[in-house]
Amino acid sequence: MTRPLVVLSGGLDSTVCMALAAEETGEAPLALTFDYGQRHRTELDRAAGVAGHFRSEHLVVQLDTSAWGGSALTDASIDVPVAGSTDGIPATYVPARNSIFLAVALGVAEARKLDAVWIGVNAIDYSGYPDCRPEFIEAFRGVAATGQKRGVDGDPIAIRTPLIGCTKEQIVRLGVEQGAPLQLTWSCYRGGDRPCGTCDACDLRARGFAAAGVDDPALA
């Protein structure tokens, strides 16, 4: 089994995904992080810390999506909404973000001769982004199978989503069981020194830790 590639944002879900990938394969994952002009740049430092914890090679890909805007996370002129204040897909949605992340991840995995890309998407306690849902992941598996030398000459690169059906409570519990470095993670969409406590990401995280009966070590 080859080293896994894990898409690592520096948040709770991707950090638990790192721990699961490391445990299953017995290898330090190749961690792949995107600097896409996100407002919450703290997560880039957190990703480096998490990669260091796992003694992982850490590849940071620059992609300046702010050149075309369209999201509260990359366009300073659009406010980050308070949790629960919007119906449907919120303003923090970044157009085609996970498509871009997975496409690059599949390219890196193929160039490095790796067999699987892991991504910590989940579609239960989530912000309603369409590119976190099982039907999107399944469509991308079709891309891996048809668009790459690996998929034509042999088995396509696998896309692994161990958290896709988990609640946030289950993700916190898994992280604690695995000894994942949850104290190093960052979820808040805003760019301050401390999590804001009011955005969707803070709200989902707080409710997950509360339901699991665990104090959030990142707030200690």
Which residues sit at the interface with a copy of itself, rule CB under 8 A? 59, 61-65, 67-71, 88-89, 93-100, 102-104, 106-108, 110-112, 130-131, 133, 135-136, 138-140, 142-143, 145-149, 151-153
Nearer to a copy of itself, 64 or 215 (CB): 64
* Least distance to a copy of itself, CB of residue 66, Å: 10
* Least distance to a copy of itself, CB of residue 59, Å: 7
* Least distance to a copy of itself, CB of residue 55, Å: 20
Nearer to a copy of itself, 28 or 100 (CB): 100
Q: Is 137 in contact with 121 (CB distance < 8 Å)? A: yes
* Least distance to a copy of itself, CB of residue 212, Å: 29
Nearer to a copy of itself, 11 or 151 (CB): 151
* Least distance to a copy of itself, CB of residue 110, Å: 4
DSSP 216: -
Q: Which helix (H) or strand (E) holds 77?
A: none
Q: What is the C-alpha separation between 38 and 44, in angstroms, rounded?
A: 9
Contacts of 177 (CB under 8 A, 6+ apart): none
Q: Around 218, how many Cα atoms within 13 Å sit in the side-chain half-sphere?
A: 29
Q: What is the C-alpha separation between 72 and 56, in angstroms, rounded?
A: 31
- Scan for tokens 């923090």, then name that residue: 92
Nearer to a copy of itself, 138 or 215 (CB): 138
Nearer to a copy of itself, 105 or 174 (CB): 105
Angle formed at CA 84 by CA 64 and CA 10, multiple of 5 degrees: 40
